[in-house]
Amino acid sequence: MQINRNSYKIVILFQILILLSISCDDTSETGNPGSVIYVPSEQPTIQAGIDVASDGDTVLVDIGSYVENINYHGKNIVVGSQFLTTDDTSYISQTIIDGDHNGTVITFNSGEDSTAIFCGFTLINGQGYDLEEAGHNFSAGGITCWESSPSISNVIIKENTAHAYGGGISFYESNSKVENTTISDNSAGTGGGIYCASSSPSLLKVLIIDNTANQGGGIVCTTGSNPGLEYVTISNNSADYYSGGVFCINSQLSLTNSILWNDSPNEIYIESSSVTISFSDIQGGWVGEGNIDSNPFFCNSDNGDYSLAENSPCVGTGENSVDMSALSVNCGPH
- Tens place of pLDDT for every residue, the chain, 334 residues? 444 555 445 444 444 444 454 467 544 444 456 899 999 999 999 999 999 999 999 999 999 999 999 999 999 999 999 999 999 999 999 999 999 999 999 999 999 999 999 999 999 999 998 645 445 557 899 999 999 999 999 999 999 999 999 999 999 999 999 999 999 999 999 999 999 999 999 999 999 999 999 999 999 999 999 999 999 999 999 999 889 999 999 999 999 999 999 999 999 999 999 999 999 999 999 999 999 999 999 999 999 999 999 999 999 999 999 999 999 999 989 8
Q: Please state the separation of Cα 85 from the chain's center in Å.
A: 20
Output DSSP code: residue 51.
Answer: H
Asked whether the beta carbons of 253 and 246 are under 8 A apart, the reply is: yes
Asked whether the beta carbons of 28 and 151 are under 8 A apart, the reply is: no
Give the closest residue to 157 by CA, choosing from 123, 190, 125, 188: 123
Helix, strand or coil, per DSSP, at residue 8: helix
Angle CA 282–283–286, to nearest 5: 50
**Start-to-end C-alpha separation, the chain:** 58
Q: Measuring CA to CA, how many Å separate 242 from each of 210, 246, 297?
A: 16, 9, 26
d(CA 49, CA 107): 15
Name the helix (H) or strand (E) containing 258: none
Asked whether the beta carbons of 155 and 70 are under 8 A apart, the reply is: no
Pairing, β 169-172 against β 219-222: unpaired
d(CA 329, CA 314): 10
